[in-house]
Structure 1
């Protein structure tokens, strides 16, 4: 198995170049076609600005300069990497256009929300809405830190759910190239029924040529499963976490499961999310 079409989200944030570098490396691994999708906040088009044409024109001109700079940076990065890449910057609401284009890709490369970088803001629930709406696996890159390796030492979070099963299947191309794969079940101290599932997952992965170990980790006290997983990632020096994404929509908000929310807020390594 392999990923043949990758899509990386590009914006004006300071981490956009890191996402592109990761995506180019993955494209090199699988000789994949890489699409750079530029999608940024459209706040300058709010009704307030439309009533002040001079302000709207100035903001639109500045946005065009940033778009052109992002395009040139992406194309130069592709050329330096020796990869033929495709640039897209469609007009429209960023969540909608990203979700639409993502449905024609094998893997998405997105960035963790960064409240300290105004240029990283695209939409209030951008990453979550795309992950849940696209139906495609998403590799979410942390908002800080280098990504020197990706997929050499992989930790799988397993809870027996449909989402977790989907995430593992989506991660197979990465798992088949990993040096070490671990399956971890986070359980409360009074839960005795989660271990056997990890054995079955390890057997299924073995049928795909992937040798995986399995373990259970007790969740003590008030620590949530997400925090416990982050500790396991640190203890095992994992460079990728594979995780099922949980959530559902309400009329005006996205409601996340606790583990998914924790990862989107506090991830320390890239996380491959499947839904």
Structure 2
């Protein structure tokens, strides 16, 4: 597997350039075609866009900036600004890409997509892996050291498989198991981590594995973020878990914690 087509979500937010920079970096690494999908906030005017012109003018500015960045980077790029600009439309476009680059929801930026479940909808329905970029901070060491959140589940296996092109290029890969307190379940978790490392080795990825005991009062998601910080990981790879309620998808606790409190990009897959 290789990433030959990337799709980056663009809007009028302050973090648009950070997402685009990371997407262009990925396009260069994999010699990939990059699609810029412009879906701004549905409101016609926000405090962040006051004085920035009409929606049509903002679209033209965003398009010019995207095409200029692609030209300066010497990359093949394609601009799309579909209507209607909703999650369902985004999902249709996302299904024709190998990897998505999305932004963490930032409730403090009025220019972002108002629906906080935009990322969740794409990850759960597009059948494509997505790298979610935090709403703050630079990422100079992106994907040099990678942490895989592993619990032996279908979602974890899917995410690790989808991340293989990045894992093969990483300086170091660590499989992290947050083990339950039960001795039987802990032993099973250790065996699964060893099997995962052996599978990765067959794909040319040398991975170490580590077990973190579930600490009192500390969620699995928080434990993973702490471990990523200890390892100076530039990317976390994790399965996306969710269950459905009427007319909505509700993320599982670990996935929700990673998306809400991430300090480094997270590759999520369902």
Structure 1 segments (4+ residues) deviating >6 Å: none
Partner Cα distance (1:188, 1:204) in 2: 23
Q: Is residue 113 of structure 2 the alignment partner of residue 118 of structure 1?
A: no
Asked if residue 228 in structure 1 is aligned to residue 223 in structure 2, the reply is yes
Asked if 1:41 is matched to 2:41, the reply is yes
For residue 70 of structure 1, the aligned residue among 54, 62, 76 is 62
Q: Within 1, Cα distance between the matches of 2:112 and 2:42? A: 12
Query: How far has the Cα of 1:122 moved from its partner?
Result: 4.1
1:67, CA displacement in angstroms?
Answer: 1.1
Is it true that 1:145 corresponds to 2:137 in the alignment? yes
| Distance in 2 between residues matched to 1:31 and 1:150, nearest whole Å | 17
- Aligned-pair distance for 1:265? 0.5
| TM-score, normalising length: structure 1 | 0.92
Query: 1:177 & 1:28 partners in 2: Cα distance?
Result: 13
What are the equivalent positions in structure 2 for 1:1-275 lying under 5 Å apart?
Answer: 1-44=1-44, 62-190=54-182, 191-192=185-186, 193-275=188-270
Give the Cα–Cα distance (whole angstroms) in 1 for the partners of residues 244 and 74 of structure 2: 41
Report if the CA contact (8 A) 2:7-2:94 is conserved: yes
What SS does structure 1 have at the residue aligned with 2:157?
helix
Q: SS state of the match for residue 165, structure 2? A: helix
| Secondary structure at 1:65 match in 2 | helix
Contact 2:131 2:268 in 1 (8 A): yes
CA drift at 1:226: 0.2
In 2, the alpha carbon distance for the partners of 1:259 and 1:245 equals 8
Structure 1 Cα separation of the partners of residues 34 and 163 of structure 2: 18
Q: In structure 1, the residue corresponding to 2:12 is in which secondary structure?
A: coil
Extract unaligned runs of 5+ from structure 1: 46-57
Deviation for aligned residue 1:252: 3.5
Q: CA RMSD in A?
A: 1.6
Aligned partners of 2:42 and 2:113 also within 8 Å = no
**Equivalent residue of 1:119, what SS?**
coil
Please identify which structure carries the higher helix content.
1
Q: 1:52 corresponds to which residue?
A: none
Give the Å deviation of 1:28: 0.6
Aligned CA distance change for structure 1 residues 39 and 122 (closer, same or farther; 3 Å) = farther
- Separation in 1, partners of 2:152, 2:25: 31
Per the TM alignment, residue 251 of structure 1 is displaced from its structure 2 partner at its CA by 2.3
Please list the CA deviations of residues 125-147 of structure 1 after superposition, one character each: whole Å capped at 9, or x if unmatched: 10000110100000000110001
Aligned residues: 262
Q: How far apart in 1 are the matches of 2:259 and 2:216?
A: 22
